[in-house]
Amino acid sequence: MAFGPPLPRRYLVGFDPMALPHHFTDVLVLGGGIAGMRAALGIPPELRVLIITKQAIEESNTAYAQGGIAGVLDPEDAFEDHIADTLAAGKGLCDPQAVEVVVREGPDRIRELIDWGTHFDYKNGRIDLTREGGHSHARIAHALGDATGRELTRALIANVRRLRHVRIWQNSLTIDLLTQEGRCCGALVWDAKRGPSLVWCRAMLLATGGAGQLYRESTNPPLATGDGYAMAYRAGAELRDMEFMQFHPTVLYIAGSARFLLTEALRGEGAYLRDRKGVRFMPEAHPDAELAPRDDVSRAITRRMAETRHPCVYLDLSHLDAAYLRNRFPGIDAICRRFDLDFTKDPIPVRPGAHYMLGGVTVDLNGRTTLPGLWAAGEVTSSGLHGANRLASNSLLEGLVFGARAARDIAAELARSPRGPLVVPSVDGLDPLHVREVQPASPGFSPADPAPADPNGLGLDLTDIRESLRALMGREVGIARDAEGLQEARRQVEFWSRYVLPIVFDQPEGWTLQNMLIVAQLMIASASAREESRGVHYRTDFPKPSDTWLKRVTLRRPLLENEPPPAIWVTGNIGSEISSFTPTVADPTEAGTPSTL
């Protein structure tokens, strides 16, 4: 399958470096979730750190995590069991080394959180550990009942703000990663107050989270538009496993309202899933019933919705202790009460929603990407931990472990490199074809030969395109897929891309839509290439797993035509500021037919 080029240029916008403010730092962290914050805490004080977040630092996918964080904290549990559970969920695509590293280092990272003031829930003087789907033991630590993510976020932010060598820019959208001679060296950043600026760094950590907003039904906050995947792809980093979007089985379904995650822990406590007639259907669908892995539960729910011609199924907790449930899940209790529902006795309408991207930027065990100068951690990566399906509550653990590992590796790398002046590319070095030939109308980018944001006078309704894309992805690239649907998705996304991607926008709505279209192309291409069903990737035309597909789909942007090596125009020292003033979708080596993006 072949797409047209996802973007006819290297950067989303044209810019003249001599017209923009420049900022310099040792380490640039993009993203304020658990991976980015943990990495910032691990950078030694002799290195300057700048954290850039798309919205307020309190807003990230981490903050919305309810269930908890998995770890071998009980003497009766064992590393080997957590490893086995993770490998079983991953359906043959986990990297065993990554799994072992995360599981064995995880408890120490959790104990660090406690030392930093995180208030986990305790019972009889010990952390109250619960069990969730796919786990063989109770090993999930939670905080404030069902507000684990908020509590972890609070503690991490409080500790980061005490560090004098760390600065934070909030409500700042990173438009693109800058590269010079094949190395990541900075970012083009925009916010409403300071406008566009260039931030140069000696090392960058990408921790921008996931892409759940590509789907109408999603547990993710509005900021999760896949920016990190698209920026890394444009910069030349390798991505892989982009066909694997995990769907959470139980998202509160109230027509017309925002979607809310109803944590896995509800089923861990004994909640049942019933159809519109009150029939409990999971025991016949899987031996573990409601505690089956998420992909199995999501497919079973989708099948039952189709069989009963009903838009949802129902979560039933009426047989459990009401007082305990309200104390254990105060956030869910409050959400349900908004809609006049008592979750301890009323059937709660739920359906699956896009929850977590298992694929992403390829990283090694230290968070290094294939692009020199760029590290990554958290949901934006494909670390090998999750394989084809993520075990519940392993995501926060991954962010902690890989955030810490990336920080150590960055510090070691910079210690080996003398702190000389940063070399800043010229206009030609960044992207001469784009910068000279296509310029945006926004002041602060480039004043030369501006082009209108809507050059063809199309009168585009970006919200309509965005919502149409989200509906299409849910319909054709959702829980169940087939060649016909994927081909239709490809045709439609390619059509939108033909007239949206060439436009040079000057506002975040345009840039995020372009990122979403690029990520959608990568996901569709990967899903089309994998002609089997494995984990969260289920194809009705290839309903069984195949041993020939015990391998990965990888993606990397081809060089643009006549893309030159960069030139040099100015240098700046770390800490200084210049105010006057750069897929090919391939199966793994032995796999099928490559496609061109």
Residues with catalytic roles: 294
373 Rama sector, left if φ>0, alpha if ψ -120 to 50, beta otherwise: left
| C-alpha span between 276 and 347 (Å, rounded) | 10
Tokens of 205: 């950590």
Cα dihedral 273, 279, 280, 284, rounded to 10, equals: -130
Q: What is the 3-state secondary structure (H, E, C) of 115-131?
A: HCCCCCCEECCEECEEC
Question: CB neighbours of 202 closer than 8 A, spacing ≥ 6?
Answer: 25, 26, 27, 373, 414, 417, 419, 422, 574
Closest CA to 140 of 85, 83, 68, 87: 68
Q: CA triplet 104, 110, 114: central angle to 5 degrees? A: 150
Separation in Å, CA 2 to CA 522, 523, 530: 11, 13, 15
Q: Which are the contacts of 551, defined by CB distance < 8 A and separation ≥ 6?
A: 587, 588, 590, 591
Structure tokens of 256?
């017309």
Nearest-angstrom CA–CA distance, 294 and 312: 16
Distance CA 487, CA 430 (A): 35
Query: Which is it for strands 577-578 and 22-30: parallel, antiparallel or unpaired?
Result: antiparallel
Let me know: does 582 contact 179? Beta carbons within 8 Å: yes
- Take residue 189 and report the two structure tokens written for it: 């950043």
| Euclidean distance between CA atoms 263 and 245, whole angstroms | 18
